[in-house]
Amino acid sequence: MGQWVRDMVGLGVFLWLLGYIASILLFFSPYAPIMGWVITPAFIPVTIAITWWWFRRRRLPLSYYIRVGLVWTVIAVVFDYLFIVVLFHATYYAIDVFLYYGLTFLIPVGVGLFIDQSEGKKDTEG
């Protein structure tokens, strides 16, 4: 399996699954009505950390991180629709969900920019 498949599909599905499991657990709690506002801020640092750890040793062009963000967002939209809206007949789409989709795209792009700038600083310092 190619590295791009692991980066885009493998990691994208893994991160989506983490949030999905958390949402299932929160569904049975008093926080169910606001679970998006609980999960999103809790998982932003987790997603950033995992993404940085995953890509930290590779120098990739920004276009690659943009593609990663696009694929992760498509995975999130499709899987949310299939495994939340269709499976549970849920009314799902609210402002927190759109924020989550935006962050799903922006996190790998931001991490890619950070890694690129960090590597650039190492090149000029070394």
Each residue of 39-52: pLDDT tens digit? 999 999 999 999 99
Q: Give residue 76's identity as a one-letter amino acid code.
A: A
Please indicate, yes or no, whether the overall pTM of this predicted structure exceeds 0.75. Answer: yes
Task: Give me the number of domains the chain comprises.
Answer: 1
Q: Please state, in angstroms and rounded to a whole number, the distance separating the CA atoms of residues 91 and 74.
A: 19
Q: Give residue 27's identity as a one-letter amino acid code.
A: F
Check whether 22 has a pLDDT greater than 70. yes
Predicted pLDDT of residue 125: 63
Write the CB contacts of 111 (distance below 8 Å, at least 6 apart in sequence).
48, 51, 52, 55, 65
Q: Which domain holds residue 88?
A: 3-125
